[in-house]
Structure 1
Amino acid sequence: MLDVAAVCERLAEPLRIAEGVKKALVLLSALHDLGKISDSFRAMLRDRRPQAFRHWEITEAFLFYHDGRIGEALGGSEGARRELYAAAAGHHGRPSQRILSMNRSNTGPGGEWKRMIDAAGEEALEAAGAAIEIFLGLWPDASLVDLDATAKARPLSWRLNGLLTAADWIGSNALWFPSCPPCADAQAYLDSARERARRAVAASGVATPSPSRTRLFDFSFRPMQAACAEAELPSGPMLAFIEDETGSGKTEAAMVLAQRMLLAGKGRGLYVALPTMATADSMFRRLRPILPRMFASAPTLTLAHGRAGLTKEYRDLVLSPERMQDEAGPTEWLRDSRRRALLANVGIGTIDQALLAAVRARHATLRQYGLSNKILIVDEVHEMGDPYMGVLLETLLRLHAALGGSAILMSATVPRDLRSRLFAAFGGGARPDLDEPGYPALTVSGAAPRPVAPAGLARGALKVERLDAPERALGLLESAAREGAAAVWVRNAVDEAIEAVKALRERGVPADLLHARFALCDRKRHEAAILSAFGKDRAARPGRVLVATQVVESSLDLDFDVMISDLAPMAALIQRAGRLWRHMDRRPAAARAVARPALHVLSPDPVHVEGPGWARDLLGGGAHVYDLATLWRSASVLFRAGEIRAPEALRALIEAAHGDAPVPASLERAELRAEGRSGAAKAHAFQNRIEWDKGYRAGASGAGDADYPTRLGQPQRILVLMRPDGAPWSGGAWSVDSCQLSEVSASEARLSKLALPESAPPVALPDWLVGTRSFVTVAENGEICEGLGYEEDAGLMFT
C-alpha cells in the first residue's frame, strides 16, 4: 500500500490542485487495499476459500466504517469523502455496487455493509483502523477542507481513480518493488519506497521530458502553418480547430501549434487520434522522425490500436535491440498491456482508444488519466461526426477540458453544426461568430476565428461531371490508362469494387484493388504496391487504374490524374477529390496525362427522382452505405455548382449538402427512417457514455470494452483463413501474429445465411482469440463454402 502511495506521490506532482487535497489523494491511494486486512482475504490465500465480498469492496466498507476518524483528520463533507472512498476502493476498473444506499440504514443486521464487516472479521476491523491511524500520521497536511460539497468531489473522484490505477500498476511491479523483511517504522519504509518509486516511474516510461524549442521543420511555412506559429494562446485549457483543404499541411500546422502549447504548459505529451488503424499507421510513419525535436530528451512512444504489433515500423522499433538513445519508443512496461498505451509520453492511434475514456467501460479512468496531461489531437474530425461517435466525442472533449487538458481538432470538411457542438462540449460555448468563420480558418476557444489565406495548391477548380452508367465509367478508365494516367474509381461497397476491377481486367486494363475485405497480410501487401504505383513518388505516367472503397479517402497519400467516384455525401466527395492532382510540386499540369483535373461522379440524376430506388439501380449495394436524403442533397448541390472550387467554395458546398432542404416526396420515408436511426444511435450513445456529473461511483461501470463500443455498425464476424494443409493464410507457423495477419471481417448477417464449415486450428491458441474468431479453410480453388470464396487479389467474395 505504501509502495503504491509513493508512486502516486510522484505521478501527482504536476497536478494543478491544492497541496492539501493532493496529499489527501495520496493518502487515500495508500488505503486502496485496506480490505485485504480481512479474514475472508486471508482464507482465500491460505485455504482457497471463495470470497463472498472482494477485498476492494471491503475497502470501501472499512473506509465508511472509520469515516469519523478520517473526517476528523481531513475535514470536508461526509458526502464528499464517500465519493473519494468509492474512487479509491474501485481501483480494479469499476466501482463497487455493494453499498448502494450510502446511508447508515444500511448498517442494520440485514444490511450489506454489516455482512461485509462480518466477513472481514472483528480483529480485521480494528487492524484496519490502526492502519488508517498510521497512514494519517504519514501525511499530516492532507486536507479536504475545501471539499465541503459532494458535487466538488465528484470530478476529483474520476481523477483519483485514474491516478491510483496507474500508480497501482507501477507500484505492484515486483521488479521495481521487491518483497522485503517486515519494517516496524512506517515512515522509514515510506522514505525508502519513495526512492524506489522515483526509479520505477522513470523506468515505466510515464515520466515526461521537457518540451524543446527546436524548430520542427526546415521548409517555409504555408499560411495555416504560419497562423499556428503566431496565434495568441489563451490561458488555461484551450481547444483549437484547424480547417483547411486536403494537402494544405494541416498535420504540420497542428504539430507547430502543439509544440507551442507544450512550451506554454498546456500539456506534457501528445495523443494523435485517427479514424482508422490504417490512418494511424500512416501518421506514425509521418510523425516519428519529428518527435525528438519536440522534446529535450527522447519521449516514450506507442502505436495505440488493436493490431499495432503487426505494423512493421512499430514492430521493428519494439524489437530493435539497439534503439538509439535519442529515438522515441515504448518501454517494456508500456508494451505489456494495451490499456497502458495512453500512458506513454506520445501516443499515435485510433480515436477509439481515446473514446474508451468516455464510455462506461472498465478502466475508463486510466485512459482519462493517460489523456489528461496530453494535448489531444484529433484528425479527420468529420469522420467522427456520425450520431453515435459524435456524442462520445463531445463527452471526451468535455471530460478532457474538466481534467485540464487541451485539444486540437483538424478537418477539411467539418459541417458547421458539428464544429459548434464540439466547441460547446469543450466549454467554449456555441459562439455566434463560429457560424461562418471563413475558410480556411484557425479557431481557438475564447477568441474570434482567424481567417487564413489559402495555401495556393495550384490545382485550380475541379470540374464535376456526372456519369449515368457504369459502362461509361469503365470506358473512361480504359481510355485514361491507355494515355498513361494514374486513375481511380472509388466505389461505395466492396462487392461493386470487385465487379468493377474484374470488368477492367477483362478489357485488358492493368487494375489494382483495395478494400476492407482482404486478409490483413494481403491488405498490407496491396497497400504497399498501391503506394508505389499511385503514391507521392509514383512514376509520371503509370497507365494503371485503382478500384478502391472508402479506404483511400484519408489513409493513404495517393495522387491520381483521373478520378471517378460513386455518389457519396459531399464531405466524402471532397475528401476523395483531395487525392486528385495532389502533388503539383512533383507533377505539374504539363506533366499530367490529362489536360485538366475533373471529378467524374457516377450518379443518378437528382432532378428526376421516380422512387425510393432512385440510386439503387445505378450504384447497387453502394446506394445503401449512406442515407438517401444526404446522397440526393449532395448530388443536387454538386451538379448545380458544376465544380469544386477550393478552398473558397468548400464551406458553402458542405453546408448546403448537410442542410435541411426538402427532398423529393418519394425519398421522404427514407429520410424519416434515417432520422429514426440517428435518434436511436444518439440514445444508445447517451446510455453508454460516462455520467461525469455523477462522479465515479454512480457514473462509471465495469463491463468490458465490447459492451460499450466506440462506434456502431452492422455486426461483423472475424474469419481466420487457413490453407488446405492447415497452415495460417499468412504462412509460417501458427501464433497470435500469424492468426491476426490471416483475419478478415465480414457482415454477420450475410455469413449467417451460409453453411460455413468451421475448422479448429491445429495448435493451441489463446482462448480470447479462438473464442472470438471463426477458423475456415480456403480450398485450392478459392472456395470456402457454397456462396463464399477468397482470392489473394480479390479478397473475400460472396458469390
Structure 2
Amino acid sequence: MKRQSSEIYFEKIKSTARLTPVEVSVIGRQDVMKEWLDWPAKSAHPPETIEHPAIYHMLDVAAVAEELITYFPWKSDLKQAFIALVGLHDLGKFSESFRRMLREGIAQDYPHWKLTEILLLEADEMLAAWFGGTAEVRRILYAATAGHHGRPPDTPLQRRGRYKCLQAIGEGQEAARRFLSILKEFWPEASLASLDEETARKFSWWLPGFCTAADWVGSNTKWFKPRKLDCNPAEYLEKTRLIARQAVCEAGLSGAGACSRRLFDFALRPLQTACEAISLPEGPTLVVLEAETGAGKTEAALLLAQRMALAGKGRGMFFALPTMATADAMFNRASQAVGKMFEKPSVTLAHGRAGLSVPFRDMVTAGSNTGKSGDADDVTSSEWLATDNRRALLADVGVGTIDQALLSVLPVRFQTLRHYGLSSKILVVDEVHEMGEPYIAEELINLLKMHRAMGGSAILLTATLPLAWRSRLLATYGGVSESSAYPAITVAGGDAITEFAVDDRPVKGSVKVERMISTEEAVQYLVQGARAGAACVWVRNAVDDAIAAVEALRAEGVETHLLHARFALCDRKKLENEVLERVGRKGKNRAGFVLVSTQIVEASLDLDFDVMVSDLAPIGSLIQRVGRLWRHMDLRPATERPVPAPILKVLSPDPTDVQDDHWLRNVLHKGAGVYALPDTWRTASVLFKRGQINAPEGLRDLIEAVHGEGAESLPSVLDEAEATGQGKNMAARALAGQNIVDIEASYRDAGNGADDVIYPTRLGDVTTILALARRTENGLIPWASSEDHGQDMPSLWALSEVSVRHSKLAKLDLPDQDSPEIRDVKKEWPKWKQRDVILCPVEDPGGEICEGLCYKKDRGLFFCSSL
C-alpha cells in the first residue's frame, strides 16, 4: 500500500458512512502504521518495551496544554494557536538523526528541539495559511516553541546552516508536513492575527515555559504510558484528552478558582479593613502596603490577594520572602488561609531546603494519599510539584524565597518555566525594603515589569521603604505618588489610603533610644534586666561578636541562649523552637530569659522582649529590631511588664566624634563591617538627636533622614567610604544590567540556558557548606540525630549542614576529603554534593573539626586558637 497524503486519509475518515466499521478500522490502522511507525518519540530500551510514537507524544502534550490554558484570559483563537504550537514542540523528532540516536545510539549534531525550529520555518507557508499573523510574529514564536528544553535554539538560520539541519532531518520533513495537516484539523480556528511583533516578543518568554510544563506532564509515564500504533490520530487524541485531564489534576496543575469565604475569625485591624475597601483598577494592578512591624500586613495582603483573585487578576498566588526561615514561617501561616481563598489549591514550599520542612512533607504525603478531596478549605501538594523547585512555581499557591521568582528574569536554564508559573499568580513580595540593594533591586524591578507584561498583579509589603525606592517600584506599573504619609496603601495608577481608623488595641507608644559605649555596659544592663525578671535580647551584627557576648553573660552567671546562622540546620531549628516557646507570641516562662542573636531575628521569628540591646545598624534594621520590643501589647500590657517602659539601647560610638573611618570598628569590632558605614553613621546621628522612635507616625522621617534626598552630610573623614560604597553600588547595578534578560527582545535573541551559579540572584561573599559528622564504631554518621529527625539519610546529612564564608576557611586545614572514612560516606552522595560540600567530623568532647575551627551545639561553628 502506497503512502497516503493526510488529505486522502481525512477524506476516508470523513466518508465512514460508506464503509463498514471493520473497513474503517482497517484503513485507519494501515494508514497509521505506514505513516508513523518509523517516527518514535521515546526509546523502547528498558525498562520500556514499546517505542512511544512521536505523533502520539505530541498529541499527549497538546492535550495537556489544552487543560493548562483553560483559565488564561485570552481569546479562543489565540489559545488554539498556543495549543497547536505546543503540539508541534517536538516536530524535530521527525528526523532521521533523532531516529538513529534512539535506535542506534548515534549522537545528533543538532538536537531534535533545535530541528523543530527549522521544520517550522520550512513549513511557514503552510503555517501562515493556518495561523495568519506576520512572518516576524511567527518566526518569534517558532523559536519560543522550540526552546522548551530550557534554552532558546541557536541553530544557524542562514542557507548553509539550514541545509545541514535539513540533511539531518531527511525524509522526516515530509512526515512533519503531514503532521501539520493533521493538527490543523484538530484546532482549525488557531490564529496569531491578533498579535503584533511587540506582543509576540512578550509571549516568546511565556510560551517556552508553558510548553515545558505541558511536555513534562505529557512525558510522564505515570500517566502517559508508551503505546503501540493502534488507532488513528483523532481517536488517540480523544483518549489522551481524558488522561491529560487526570494527569493535570494529579500533578496539582488543574487550577483553583477564587473563593469568597471569610479568611479570619478575628476582628480586623485598621490596615486590614482598609484592604477590604480600597478600589482596585481594571487590568494588572500593583499595591504597596507600608506599615510598622506588627500591624498585620501579612493578613492584609491575604485579604487583598483574595479580592484580586475574585476580580480575575490571578488564579493563584506566590508569596516571596527574603530568606528560607521567613519562607518556612510564612508557609505555616499562609497554609491556614489559602484554602479559604481558593478552591482546594495545590500548595508548595519553594526553596533549596523545602524538603526538610516537616509541615510541607506532611502536606505532600497527605496530597499523594487523598488528592483534591476532603473539606472545602483543604490544601494539598503533589509529589510531582514537590520534587523539583523549578516546578514549585506551577502550583496554585507557592511560598518561597524571592530567589525562586528572580530566576525568572535571569538567563538561566528553564527561566521561562518560572515566568510561566508566575504569570497566572498574584505575586506577593514581603519585606521588600530588604531588596533595595542595587543588584537585587534591578532584578525585582524587571521581575515586576515582566509580570505586568503578562497581565500579572502584585502586592509589596514593607515596614521601612525609602520614598525613592517606592517610586521606582510604583513606576513599573505606571504609578506615581508624591505622598509621604505613613502608614499607607498605595495603588499604582489608582487610589491611596493614608488615613486609618484608630486601632483600639494597646500600643507601646514611643520607644526611647539611648546610646551605650561599651560591650561591658551592655552586659551589665542585660544582667540587671534578667535579674528583674525581664525577657532580654541583644541583637549583634556579627556571629563572632554574638558568641563573645554569650560568653561574657555566662561568665556573669546568666543563663544565655544563642541564635545565629552558623548552626547546623538541625540545631538551629531546635533552638528557634525553644526561643519561640519562651518568648514567642504565646511564650511561657519568659522571666529572666536572655537571648543573644544576630539579625536573623529581625524578620524570621515572631518574638516579644521586654529589654533590648542592639549593635548600631542602619535605621531600617533598627526599626525591624525594635518591632520585637514590647511587641504583643494585647497579651502583655505595660502594667504586666517587669520594666516601666520600652527602651532601645544601642551600642555605638559617638556620631559627633569621628576621627577616622575606624569610627565604628572601635566599638563594634567585627560587626562594624556588616553594613555600609555612611548608613550607620547617619542612623546614629539622626537617632541619638531625636532620642526616640515613634511608630508609626515618626518612621517615615527617620527613614528619609538616612536614605532620602535630604540625608545629613557625612563627616569628611567618611567621604572616601561613601565614594567606595557608591562605586560598588554602580558596579552592582551594571552587573545586574548585564545579567538580566532583555524582556523587550525576543526569547531567541535574548534568552540563554546558563547554570544558576553563573547568574546569581544575589551578590555577596562566596560561602562554603560544611556537613558535620559524628564518629561511631560503624563509621561516620550525620550530626543530625535519626532519633529526632527520622531515618532518611539524605535529609539527615542536609540537616547537618552549616554555611560559612569561604574567606574565613581559606587558611584552615580542613579534613581530608580523600580519607577512607569520608570517601566511604560521600560515595553515596550526588556528584554535585561530593564536589561542593565538605564533610567534617566533629571530635568529642571538645568539638574540634581542625586546628582553629570547632563546633558545639550551644555555640555553633566558631573559630578558636586552641581547644
TM-score by length of 2: 0.89
- Whether the 8 Å contact between 1:485 and 1:561 is mirrored in structure 2 is yes
Q: Kindly provide the amino acid, as one letter, of the partner of residue 428 in structure 1.
A: G
Residue 752 of structure 1 is matched in structure 2 by 810
- Whether the 8 Å contact between 1:66 and 1:129 is mirrored in structure 2 is yes
Q: Kindly provide the amino acid, as one letter, of the partner of residue 53 in structure 1.
A: Y
Cα shift at 1:33: 0.4
**What's the CA shift string for 1:150-204, capped at 9, x where partnerless?**
3231111112111111111111122222222315532222222222222221121
- Whether the 8 Å contact between 2:812 and 2:852 is mirrored in structure 1 is yes
Residue 298 of structure 1 is matched in structure 2 by 344
Matched, 1:774 2:857: no
Q: Kindly provide the amino acid, as one letter, of the partner of residue 67 in structure 1.
A: D
Residue 584 of structure 1 is matched in structure 2 by 633
Residue 689 of structure 1 is matched in structure 2 by 740
Residue 502 of structure 1 is matched in structure 2 by 551
Bigger drift between 286-295 and 474-483 goes to 286-295
- Whether the 8 Å contact between 1:728 and 1:734 is mirrored in structure 2 is no
Distance in structure 1 (CA, Å) of the matches to 2:636 and 2:823 = 50
Residue 5 of structure 1 is matched in structure 2 by 62
Matched, 1:679 2:730: yes
Residue 743 of structure 1 is matched in structure 2 by 801
Residue 388 of structure 2 is matched in structure 1 by 337
Cα shift at 1:541: 4.4
Distance in structure 2 (CA, Å) of the matches to 1:228 and 1:607 = 44
Residue 33 of structure 1 is matched in structure 2 by 90
**What's the CA shift string for 1:584-612, capped at 9, x where partnerless?**
11111111111000111001111111001
Aligned pairs for 1:213-612 (under 5 A) are 213-295=260-342, 297-320=343-366, 325-326=374-375, 327-425=378-476, 427-429=477-479, 431=480, 434-453=481-500, 455=503, 457-539=506-588, 541-612=590-661
- Go from structure 1 to structure 2 and tell me whether the alpha carbon gap of 1:313 and 1:152 turns closer, same or farther (over 3 Å shift): closer
Q: Kindly provide the amino acid, as one letter, of the partner of residue 757 in structure 1.
A: P
Residue 680 of structure 2 is matched in structure 1 by 631
Q: Kindly provide the amino acid, as one letter, of the partner of residue 782 in structure 2.
A: P
**What's the CA shift string for 1:684-720, capped at 9, x where partnerless?**
1112212111121122210122222111110000011
Residue 727 of structure 1 is matched in structure 2 by 781
- Whether the 8 Å contact between 1:361 and 1:703 is mirrored in structure 2 is yes
SS state of the match for residue 757, structure 2?
helix
SS state of the match for residue 316, structure 1?
helix
SS state of the match for residue 293, structure 1?
helix
Distance in structure 2 (CA, Å) of the matches to 1:574 and 1:211 = 36
Cα shift at 1:505: 0.6
Residue 131 of structure 1 is matched in structure 2 by 179
Cα shift at 1:729: 0.8
- Whether the 8 Å contact between 2:517 and 2:653 is mirrored in structure 1 is yes
- Whether the 8 Å contact between 2:582 and 2:589 is mirrored in structure 1 is no
Distance in structure 1 (CA, Å) of the matches to 2:374 and 2:829 = 36
SS state of the match for residue 617, structure 1?
helix
- Go from structure 1 to structure 2 and tell me whether the alpha carbon gap of 1:457 and 1:691 turns closer, same or farther (over 3 Å shift): farther
Q: Kindly provide the amino acid, as one letter, of the partner of residue 135 in structure 1.
A: L
Cα shift at 1:457: 4.7
Q: Kindly provide the amino acid, as one letter, of the partner of residue 126 in structure 1.
A: E
Bigger drift between 75-84 and 519-528 goes to 75-84
Q: Kindly provide the amino acid, as one letter, of the partner of residue 85 in structure 1.
A: Y
Aligned pairs for 1:135-150 (under 5 A) are 135-147=183-195, 149-150=196-197
Residue 37 of structure 2 is matched in structure 1 by none
Bigger drift between 331-340 and 601-610 goes to 331-340
Cα shift at 1:18: 2.9
Bigger drift between 176-185 and 631-640 goes to 176-185
Q: Kindly provide the amino acid, as one letter, of the partner of residue 479 in structure 1.
A: Q
Cα shift at 1:83: 0.6
- Go from structure 1 to structure 2 and tell me whether the alpha carbon gap of 1:90 and 1:208 turns closer, same or farther (over 3 Å shift): same
- Whether the 8 Å contact between 1:227 and 1:452 is mirrored in structure 2 is no
Matched, 1:762 2:824: yes
Residue 154 of structure 1 is matched in structure 2 by 201
- Whether the 8 Å contact between 1:723 and 1:779 is mirrored in structure 2 is yes
- Go from structure 1 to structure 2 and tell me whether the alpha carbon gap of 1:435 and 1:457 turns closer, same or farther (over 3 Å shift): farther
Distance in structure 2 (CA, Å) of the matches to 1:775 and 1:687 = 36
- Whether the 8 Å contact between 2:561 and 2:596 is mirrored in structure 1 is yes
Cα shift at 1:11: 1.2
Q: Kindly provide the amino acid, as one letter, of the partner of residue 114 in structure 2.
A: E
- Whether the 8 Å contact between 2:506 and 2:637 is mirrored in structure 1 is no
Residue 667 of structure 1 is matched in structure 2 by 718
Residue 642 of structure 1 is matched in structure 2 by 691
- Whether the 8 Å contact between 2:288 and 2:489 is mirrored in structure 1 is yes
Cα shift at 1:625: 0.6
SS state of the match for residue 281, structure 2?
coil
**What's the CA shift string for 1:45-68, capped at 9, x where partnerless?**
111111111110111111122212
Q: Kindly provide the amino acid, as one letter, of the partner of residue 360 in structure 2.
A: Y
Q: Kindly provide the amino acid, as one letter, of the partner of residue 193 in structure 2.
A: V
Distance in structure 1 (CA, Å) of the matches to 2:816 and 2:426 = 46
Matched, 1:52 2:109: yes
SS state of the match for residue 96, structure 1?
coil
Distance in structure 2 (CA, Å) of the matches to 1:31 and 1:208 = 24
**What's the CA shift string for 1:540-598, capped at 9, x where partnerless?**
64202100001000000000000011000000000000000001111111111110001
Distance in structure 2 (CA, Å) of the matches to 1:607 and 1:249 = 38
Residue 855 of structure 2 is matched in structure 1 by 790
Cα shift at 1:336: 2.8
Cα shift at 1:642: 0.7
CA RMSD of aligned residues (A): 1.5
Residue 120 of structure 2 is matched in structure 1 by 63
SS state of the match for residue 436, structure 1?
coil
**What's the CA shift string for 1:355-392, capped at 9, x where partnerless?**
11121111111111111111111111111111111111
Bigger radius of gyration, 1 or 2? 2
- Whether the 8 Å contact between 2:582 and 2:590 is mirrored in structure 1 is no
Structure 1: runs of 5 or more not aligned: none
Distance in structure 1 (CA, Å) of the matches to 2:323 and 2:221 = 36
- Whether the 8 Å contact between 1:76 and 1:146 is mirrored in structure 2 is yes
Give aligned-pair identity as a percent: 50
SS state of the match for residue 375, structure 1?
strand
- Go from structure 1 to structure 2 and tell me whether the alpha carbon gap of 1:66 and 1:690 turns closer, same or farther (over 3 Å shift): same
Distance in structure 2 (CA, Å) of the matches to 1:452 and 1:554 = 26
Distance in structure 2 (CA, Å) of the matches to 1:212 and 1:20 = 29
Residue 227 of structure 2 is matched in structure 1 by 180
Count of aligned residue pairs for this structure pair? 784
Distance in structure 1 (CA, Å) of the matches to 2:236 and 2:623 = 63
- Whether the 8 Å contact between 1:437 and 1:451 is mirrored in structure 2 is no
Distance in structure 2 (CA, Å) of the matches to 1:233 and 1:447 = 7
Cα shift at 1:666: 0.6
SS state of the match for residue 45, structure 1?
helix
Q: 1:22 aligns with which of 79, 83, 94?
A: 79
Structure 2: runs of 5 or more not aligned: 1-57
- Whether the 8 Å contact between 2:433 and 2:462 is mirrored in structure 1 is yes
